[in-house]
Amino acid sequence: MWHSLYTDKFLKATVLVFLLSVIAAIGFETPLLLIVPFVLLALPFVFEQVIYKPGNMFWLLMITLPLSTEINFTPSLGIDFPDELLMMMLTGVFLIKLIFNKSLLSKDIVQHPIFSLLLLHLLWILISVVFSVDPALSFKYFSCKSLVYCSICLAAPVKSLPTKGRSEKRGGWGFAFQGSRGGDPKF
């Protein structure tokens, strides 16, 4: 599908952007500007992977977990790179897909005891937000936990891990949600 995005006009525009970025990199003495055309070339492929194949992005997250490193912008503000960026992208994709496809969370998942425990945990965090010394920080913690854990640690593995015939080989949430009635969830 992404091959159709690489049309002649797109490639000519990328060559033009490359020439302009070379001129700008020389003029401003900033070689970092040479990255721009390569990012432009990668955009259709990345768009396809994010929108049409989010399962691949989930597996990329699993691969990069041991390779992540913390980058501090200020002494109190940091990000785990590239994991937190992938988690934010997966959360956004999950929320958009959930808005347009309500059946993303199947009956088997919602009725599973682990899902109930997760909701109980999030309720406890919400109660803690009310009585917190710093409610704004606590609410930020709650929103991150609820969005990230419910989408990435719950729905993404169930959608990405195999469901037919190999459920005993699955790990994490995918194994836990193989179905409380003895079968695999219907996705």
**Per-residue pLDDT at 26 exceeds 90:** yes
**pTM beyond 0.85, yes or no:** no
Buried b (16+ CB within 10 A) or exposed e, 44-67: beeeebbeeebeebbebbbeeeee
DSSP secondary structure letters along 104-163:
GS-HHHHTSHHHHHHHHHHHHHHHHHHT-SSHHHHHHHHHHHHHHHHIIIIIHHHHHS--
pLDDT at residue 177 greater than cutoff 80 = no
How far apart (Å, rounded) are the C-alpha atoms in residues 33 and 26? 9
What confidence score (pLDDT) does residue 169 get?
Answer: 46
Q: pLDDT confidence of 148, banded at 50, 70, 90?
A: confident
Q: What is the overall mean pLDDT for the chain?
A: 76
- Pairwise CA distance, residues 154 & 148, whole Å: 9
Q: Residues 113-133: what's their mean pLDDT? A: 86
Nearest-10 crossing angle of helices 54-64, 83-100 = 160
141 vs 161: which has the higher pLDDT: 141
Rg (CA), the chain: 21
Domain extent listing, the chain: 1-52
Q: Could you count the other beta carbons within 10 Å of the beta carbon of residue 108? A: 19
